[in-house]
Structure 1
Amino acid sequence: MSEVRISAEPRTEFGKGGARRTRRAGKIPAVLYGHGEKPKHLSLPAREFAAVIRRGGLNQLVSVEITDGTTELALPKALQRDPIKDTIEHVDLLLVRKGEKVTVEVRIDFTGEPEKGGLIVHNLDTLTVEADATAIPESVELSIEGMEVGSNITAAAVNLPSGTTLVSDPETVLVTHTQPRAEAEPEGESEGEDAAEAAEGEKSE
């Protein structure tokens, strides 16, 4: 996943009041931290950053260009959202370096058609992997083509891109092809039929 550039300004106002003023100005309060360096308090353009998250999610590598002349590579580590408006209220940015390995969650794209007659159950739709911070895959692909009823596929079966290693337990079941359950006859209906049959038997006697 290629990096995206975004501008940032140093933030000097803190607390709830400062954060509200930052948001009213169309920006998002953010903190950039990592590698033992002193955290940097920043403000990011709200619309541009929201677009970055829509495209790449939390695995999107961001080149943060700060108005003090410095540029840092970072990954969005955590977002705080307004529960009603669903707008981003605060961002934690994790400082990364080129060549550094990071542990992330990537989406699983299931492809192909399984054997007919069963029900596909997706137990997980993401996989934990370790990858170069500058080469995080957008997703990994897992084929269920011809998957037999009663079988399952584990994390060990996923072919990962070069330079990416599996962190999830290899035995973790990602998808199961189950046998559909036969519809059980409603208990009340069965009991009613039994009672009716018994009554008919008594009348015939």
Structure 2
Amino acid sequence: MSDVNEWGSPPKDYGLIVPDGWFKLRLEPELRDRGIIALADQQFRGVDNAPHVKERVMRDLQKQAKAAFRRGGIELYISTLTVGGVPLASSLLVSISPPDSWPRNAAVHQLAERLEAPGKDVTLVDLPVAGKAARERYREDPDPADQTGNTLPTTTVAFHIPIPATSNVLTLTFSTPIDPLAGQMVDLFDAVAETLHWI
């Protein structure tokens, strides 16, 4: 199953193992709002004196989820983990490439070539079960226009994996604003990506 070229027909789905404490948010419009409410209720459980903060968090999540859905996003995982009271902020966006966003039936090395840019580390990797992928890693300074309050650089790692027997690409985009722990978080992202498998 490691050689995606052995597939004669497209897989029905994909599977992924994520850490406990990562909340899965479906991005389809009919499911999105229910998930956002459930996540906000979970995060603000026992906190009754911050309704405005909760409302702002829900609005920001909705905006993020809508933008991700427009770009082909199907699921968004958000870390709710904390260590010593400090949130381990990170997320994973799973998306399927919109038509014509990549060359039709592109090979992995062609995906990697398209991703090359200054400041990006682009490599070819072999995911144990899902096959070959183009992996990119980059770091971005905070956007002054971003109203979420993040003042730290964001580290992003994305894996682009051709979906067997199709011309589409599945992309796993991990990101974290925890700059001092970026190395450890990237190790975690790599470990999650290695669990990807086709169903």
Q: Same fold (TM over 0.5)?
A: no
Bigger relative contact order, structure 1 or 2 (CA pairs below 8 A, ≥6 apart): 2
TM bucket, shorter chain: under 0.3
TM-score (norm 1): 0.26
Indicate the structure with greater helix content: 2
